[in-house]
Homo-oligomer: A and B are copies of this chain.
Amino acid sequence: MKTVVFPGSFDPVTLGHIDLITRASKLAERVVIAVAVNTSKRTLFNLNERCDLLSEATAHLSGIEVIPFSGLLADFAKEHNAQALIRGIRGTTDADYELQLAQVNKALNSELETILLPANAATGFISSTVVKEVFKHNGDIDPFAPPCVKQALLIKHSENS
């Protein structure tokens, strides 16, 4: 596979994301990480910060591109000649949602495949919300997020206090 797209809000990137991005980079030559410009919820990190953290956290991997996206995922994938969307699933609620999303994207772009990767048991439970909650309450986020995220949270915290 030439190109795959791995979409998300990444507010911020977690070790769960990095596990999936690493595995995706073994399946395709080029992994486009599509960072959602508009998210249904207010983000802690703005678009640039989210993209920078992703670039830094994946600098050790080859073939990774971090690109903001708004609009339809099916159109974005077409613009970037992507063959497939990569999505991680942790449990059946994720699977149920992804099966429906895959049908929407197939209806919008019949050439676009959806690849679901089973989340890694060791990092699958990690979400951006968990990282922010644990940090907010002085918990140790090392098991959940890369070092650059910890730095960024500390800076963000000092800016806001």
Contacts and interface: CB of A to CB of B under 8 A. Distances in A.
A153 interface: no
Interface residues of A, number: 50
Interface in A1-15: 1
A97 B114 CA distance: 19
Given A83-B26, A107-B144, A137-B75, A118 B98 contact: yes
Nearest to A89: B95
A66 interface: no
A161 interface: no
Interface of A: 1, 23, 26-28, 70-72, 74-75, 83-84, 89-93, 95-100, 102-104, 106-108, 113-122, 124-126, 130, 133-134, 137, 139-140, 143-144
